[in-house]
Chain A
Amino acid sequence: MLPVMDDEEDDSRADVSGEIRLPATLEGNTGPLPENCEIAIVGGGVVGLAIAYYLAKRGLTDVVVIERGYLAEGASGRNGGGVRQQWSTEINIRLMQESVELCRRFAVDLGVNVWFRQGGYLFLARDEKEIARLEKNIDIQNRCGVKTRMVDPEEARGIVPELDITGGSSAGGQPIIGGAYNPTDGILFPWPFLWGYARQAAAMGVKIYTQTPVGGLEKQPSGGYVVRTPRGAVHARRVINATGAWSPQLAKLIGVEVPTFPIRHEICSSEPLKPFLKPMVSELRSGLYCSQSMRGEIVGGVSVPGHASTYAMGSTLEFLATYARRLVRLMPILGEIKILRQWAGPYDQSPDGNPVLGAASADHPDFFLACGFVGHGFMMAPIIGKLYAEWLTGDAPHEIFSRYTLGRFTDGSGASYPKEDFNIG
């Protein structure tokens, strides 16, 4: 049984007689949509559910979440669960500092154990250029109060004794010459994170509909939007597009062009092992990353370049072979461990590596975007959800909503902000 820790008296576990209570998180999901709502969130992934939860917490409960499949079907259920503060721009570092804090409190605040574990993140470099990249980022991180530090190869091996810092001379590799380590980065288990948000949002009155694809979206002359689904249409005063890699498709229904595109990323999981690996380990050269889950599995991936944009989510031997080759070189002792399964998920690739947030355009001030997270939406979701909810319930908008706009790609404002250079993996 996965780490589901309910916060209420629960007698269902003892009852295997077939008596089924109404679903607690998906109440009403088999019925028609309501006629009206204040906010419709399209996408029942971590971003949409985080926004829904924080809206409800702020008292705005007239919210409908519309999910095409089941919760966690998209990238939210397919990622490695990494949560880090090692980024290259001040704004992203500060966002992630807040997200880490929200992750630390998640189990207590939401009543679900998400196995959040701060074992740190260790990025490894094999040449001076990679070292320079890490050093540049560390300066910015230290300025924000993130205590990342450079480590030499011996220190890296002190943190992860299984590392082969020689680079595997017989294999022709370059040695590890240094790395960056931040002990407060961490990992979590993605699935229960979604259930936590869904369940608490539903308990406060948010209506969550799964297996409900959006087939039509129309702006109304009188204001708001009609969202059409097989469960009927809902008239929403505001709509939030939180459909991840599918965001351009939803936006296109109202003629809004979103320049993000889907890239398949593969990942795999090993048989469970006794806990030994403390941090998430990542190698800059290949984008290799791996961590040990609380179930003991080694979960990781690698960046295999050269693949075109696609929604196809099949698995490849090319990925598994590349991952195995890089991981066994980095940690030869892992050669004997067995891979149990591999799968894939879509990154919502953004042209400048940063998310796309805020109102879509002057023509669509009530259509909001929450996409373009380039494979890092899960770790960003807690703080994005909180800031979105604060803004939509009357607070002044956070800087992200004027900086990470859709307009930045066409009005030139994006050029004045640094690109995010640390989308690894």
Chain B
Amino acid sequence: MTLADLAHSVSRGYRDIEEVKRYTGFGTGPCQGKECLAVVAAELARLTQQPPEAIPPFTSRPPLSPTPLRLLARDPGAHRFSDDTEK
């Protein structure tokens, strides 16, 4: 994600932070926006001439940090199908 990507998104009419996320892919990488969200929001406020408080963060998605499947697979809350015979 570069400043040029953001300007491109805004110029195409995708100015809502959720739209920018989808148009540029920012916030969908390993950091899930933890590093880039504030910077993008500040630049978006400048480009669209809005006060920063008019730009809420995009919806954050679980899990809080990247989690291996093998750990999740042990959670007792998993639904049991007909061949899930073990405890």
Contact = CB atoms under 8 A, between A and B. Distances in A.
Contacts of B32: 340-341
A4 B7 CA distance: 14
B18 A325 contact: no
A36 interface: no
Contact of B11 (A20, A271, A317, A322): A20
A342 interface: yes
Interface string B48-87: 1000000000010111001111111101111101111110
Interface residues of B, number: 51
**Contact residues of A: prevailing secondary structure:** loop
Given A70-B16, A71-B19, A320 B11 contact: no
A25 interface: yes
Determine the interface band of chain A, counting residues with CB < 8 A from chain B: 35 or more
A191 B23 contact: yes
A305 B82 CA distance: 12
A321 interface: yes
B12 A24 contact: yes
Contacts of A272: 29
**Contact residues of B: prevailing secondary structure:** loop
Contacts, number: 168
Contacts of B23: 2, 4, 191, 195
Interface string A13-25: 1111010111111
Interface string B22-62: 11110011101000000000000011100000000001011
A325 B73 CA distance: 4
Contacts of B77: 317-318, 321
Given A304-B79, A341-B28, A320 B16 contact: no
Nearest to B82: A285
A177 to B, nearest CB: 12
Contacts of A341: 28, 32, 61-63
B16 to A, nearest CB: 5
Contacts of A229: none
13 contacts: A10-B8, A20-B10, A23-B11, A26-B13, A70-B16, A167-B83, A171-B86, A285-B81, A295-B25, A315-B62, A324-B73, A334-B69, A342-B62
